[in-house]
Structures are given as C-alpha cells and as structure tokens.
Amino acid sequence: MPIRLMHYVACFYSELLKQKVITPSHGLPPVFPVVLYNGSKPWTAPLDIYDMVQPEPPSFLQVYQPHLRYYLIDEGRYTNEELGLRQTPLSGVFGVENAGESWETLQNAVDRVVAIIQADPNKVRTDRIITRWLKRHLYRLGAEVNLDKLDSLMEDKDMLAENLENLVKKERLEGEQFGIQKGRLAEARETLRTLLTLKFGEVPARVDEQLVQADHDQLKGWMRDVLFANHLDDMFKP
C-alpha cells in the first residue's frame, strides 16, 4: 500500500503536468493521501514508505530516501459507542459495515443510518447515495431482500425493515436448530465415551480427539460397533 500510494501521487502530478493544469515553474500542489480500510483483520502495512526501507540506511543516506505518509481510516477500530457520538452519514455507513453478517445487528445499524439521513440537511442527495451503496452491500452479504424495489431508504424503510426482520427471525431459528443439533451431538459423544470406558477402560487421547471431530452419523456407527468389538483398536486404528 505505501508503494501504491506513492505511485498514485506520482501519476497525479504527471497528469497535471501533461494536461498543462500546472507547469514546473508553478510547483506541485499538496496532496493528502487517505486509505479507507473496512477489512476484518487488523491493518499491518507501514504508514510511510520510508518504513519499508530495510535495513535502515546510515544517516548520510536517510535524506535521500523516499518519504510519503498516508492517513489511515480503519473502520473496524471504531466502537459502536464512538460511532454513536458522530451523527453523520459516514458514521452510519461505518456502523453498517461493522455489523458483520448478523442480521439483527445489521437491522439496528440500518435503522440508525435511516435516522441520520432523515436529519441530514441534504437528505435527498444523501438518501440516493447511501441507498445505492446499501443495495450493493446487502447483495454482497447475500441478503434475501427484494433489492429491485428499494429506491429510497426514507420512503422504503418500512419495506426494508420488514425484510430484515424476516432475516432476523430466520437467523434466530437457525441458531436454535444449531443449538439443538449441537446438544444432541454432545449427548451422543458422551454416551459413546461412557460405553467405551465401561468396556475397554480409560479412553486414550487419540480416540477422544476422534470423538470430538466426529459427526452424529459416525458416532452412531461407533455405538453399534462397540457391541461387537473385542479391542479398542478394532474400532480406532492407532
């Protein structure tokens, strides 16, 4: 990224000279490089290209090395509380992107950005821009929402809220079903572990590891096999 930013600035200056917007005698305009990052992993790239020069050059060479620092805006480092103190459209966008893929959290973030748009003095233009962005964002998330009918967050907020509420209900139902399935899996694993202990003694770590990784069908198969196995190795090869 530091190299890319230096390339951008150089191309920008080159184009200004090429188009005769400026001349060398006029000098070059100042540039404020900004990187807007919305990834999930922490940002680790150096903030100045000079930091990439390794090993650090001796003092007489340092003055000849390139320097270009960029300003980093890392959305993931803003907490909901910090975003809540900034009632701006951009803070609303950050809140939606930081909501991840939890439909319930996303629904709350969308409700907040709609309220911000309604209070914005340029609400018509802001609504048009953020609505267009939000449709692309929901599409990337795979939201099962009829995006074709979404033209305005202010005018269509009830329709969007209803669709997001359906996603929230579906998410909760899937979570409950996952919890039930996970509970049944743990119960089957513990039952098999008890049967193995009663028949063969203490269960070794290598076998216990296989029990943890097994699915429900595999556990049921082992429950059947334990009835006929004479040795633990007949079921779990070393």
2-6, long-range: CB within 8 Å, 24+ apart, which pairs? 2/45, 2/46, 2/47, 2/48, 2/49, 2/51, 2/52, 2/68, 2/70, 3/49, 3/52, 5/33, 5/35, 5/49, 5/68, 5/70, 6/49, 6/66, 6/68
How confident is the model over 70-98, as a mean pLDDT? 87
How confident is the model over 56-66, as a mean pLDDT? 94
Query: What does the pLDDT look like over 22-32, one tens digit per residue?
Result: 998 889 999 99
φ/ψ of residue 84, rounded to 5: -65, -25
State the residue for tokens 């709350």. Answer: 108
Residue 228 has pLDDT above 80, yes or no: no
> What's 25's DSSP letter?
T
Query: What does the pLDDT look like over 162-221, one tens digit per residue?
Result: 555 555 455 554 554 555 466 667 777 888 788 788 777 887 888 888 888 787 777 777
d(CA 7, CA 228): 71
pLDDT of residue 173: 45
Classify residue 119 as exposed, middle or buried by CB count within 10 Å of its CB (0-12, 13-18, 19+): exposed
Q: Against a cut of 0.75, is the pTM above it? A: no
Q: Which residue has the higher pLDDT, 107 or 62?
A: 62
Is-contact 131 151, C-beta < 8 A? yes
24-32, long-range: CB within 8 Å, 24+ apart, which pairs? 32/71
Please work out, in degrees rounded to the nearest 5, the angle formed at the alpha carbon of residue 226 by the alpha carbons of 187 and 188. Answer: 10
Confidence of residue 157 (pLDDT cuts 50, 70, 90): low
pLDDT of residue 109: 83
pLDDT of residue 166: 55
3-class SS of residue 3: helix
φ/ψ of residue 236, rounded to 5: -125, 100
pLDDT of residue 30: 95
Q: Packing angle between helix 103-119 and helix 157-200, nearest 10 degrees?
A: 160
d(CA 86, CA 83): 5
Confidence of residue 87 (pLDDT cuts 50, 70, 90): confident
Residue 230 has pLDDT above 90, yes or no: no
Confidence of residue 105 (pLDDT cuts 50, 70, 90): confident
- 50-59, 129-138, 152-161: least confidently modelled range: 152-161
Q: Is the dihedral of CA 13, 16, 18, 21 positive or negative?
A: negative
Q: Which residue has the higher pLDDT, 32 or 135?
A: 32
d(CA 113, CA 91): 8
Report the amino acid identity of residue 213: Q
pLDDT of residue 203: 78
Confidence of residue 65 (pLDDT cuts 50, 70, 90): very high
Highest mean pLDDT among 13-17, 73-77, 127-131: 13-17
How confident is the model over 95-107, as a mean pLDDT? 74
